[in-house]
Amino acid sequence: MSKLLNANFARLKKEKVFWITVVFMVIYAAGVCIWAYSRGSGIKFDGLFLYVYGLGGQAAVPGIVMAVLCSMFIGTEYSDGTVRNKLVVGRTRFEIYASNFITCAAAGIFLNVVCTASICAVGIPLFGGFAMPAGMLIQIIITGVLIMVSYAALFNMLAMLLTNKTSSSVLSLILAIAVMFAAAYMIARLAEPEITDLYSLVDGQFTVETGPNPFYIGGMARVICQVFVNLFPSGQSLQLSSEYAELNWTLPLYSAGVIIAANAAGLSGFIRKDLK
């Protein structure tokens, strides 16, 4: 396994897409800081730190970046046929799958570190330092790291099972975007208050009454929506970014579940798969 990891990391260092994503994360983090500073309102650095996870709850940017990186990096193994070189010389399918996951996860963590470092480097001089307690900060960082590892597990699974670089790239992107939109919608609905002001027009006059919010999701539907946005890393990113998430260990536990389930499913499929 260490040999395959050594080979993968050597290849990752030469991978153009990887360096493009690194530069993108730096520009993205710096751009968010500069944009916030240009607005001139009293933004706190803590809020800004959370904002980058999902562009203030609007777009899970790290998910899209990871979809591109994982599908391109792993897809090359199939498009260039080099996965065969590993199997022919006696590397096991478990070793190949696990080393690819670890490489993608490490790349994701590195991107997370680059983004965090960039936002601190640009943001702290502009907005001051962290105001939140260290324990909470560590919890957010762990949640963020696990989100990147979840992305790696999901996109590695897709790339290893689809075996076609174009298909896996397109499908990973579509899924990342579709889940992101679904999660953004659900988070917005979940954030709706149960009771709200209801405006109505009677005899040409607006009247305001307090009553049940028609956009509020209750009962089992609320539970399902909450599980959905907790389960997928895009949902977690958007929750962190829009400061909707309750900062406890729920999200890291969901991430751990996704990582285990995606790797188990992907490995089980890859072990049975006929390769060409």
Partner 1 sequence: MEYVLKASRLTKKYKNSKALDGLTMHVEKGAIYGFVGKNGAGKTTLIRIICGLQRPEGGEYEVYGVKNSDKEIIQARRRMGAVIETPSIYLEMSAEENIREQYRILGLPSFDGISELLELVGLAGTGNKKAKNFSLGMRQRLGIAVALAGSPDFLVLDEPANGLDPQGIIEIRELILRLNREYQITVLISSHILDELSRLATHYGFIENGRIIKEISAKELEAVCRKCMRAEVTSTVVLSRVLERLGMEYTVVSDTQADIYGKVSITDLALELSKEGCEVRSVHERDESLESYYVSLMGGGRDE
Binding site for partner 1 (CB under 8 A): 2-4, 6-7, 10-11, 14, 16, 76, 80-92, 274-276
Closest to partner 1 by CB, 50 vs 86, is: 86
To the nearest whole angstrom, how small is the minimum distance from the Cβ of residue 78 to partner 1? 10
To the nearest whole angstrom, how small is the minimum distance from the Cβ of residue 16 to partner 1? 7
User: What is the helix (H) or strand (E) element at residue 3, kind and residue range?
Assistant: helix 2-14
Closest to partner 1 by CB, 2 vs 200, is: 2
To the nearest whole angstrom, how small is the minimum distance from the Cβ of residue 149 to partner 1? 24
Backbone angles phi, psi at 152, to 5 degrees: -60, -45
To the nearest whole angstrom, how small is the minimum distance from the Cβ of residue 12 to partner 1? 11
Helix (H, G, I), strand (E, B) or coil at 192: coil
Q: 76 to each of 26, 160, 178, 189, how far by Cα in Å? A: 25, 11, 24, 40
To the nearest whole angstrom, how small is the minimum distance from the Cβ of residue 273 to partner 1? 9
Residue 267 sits at the vertex; the CA angle it makes with 170 and 81, to the nearest 5 degrees, is: 55
DSSP string, 196-226: EEEEEEETTEEEEEEEE-TT---HHHHHHHH
Half-sphere exposure of 34 (CA within 13 A, CB side): 7
Closest to partner 1 by CB, 93 vs 189, is: 93
Closest to partner 1 by CB, 168 vs 239, is: 168
Closest to partner 1 by CB, 18 vs 53, is: 18
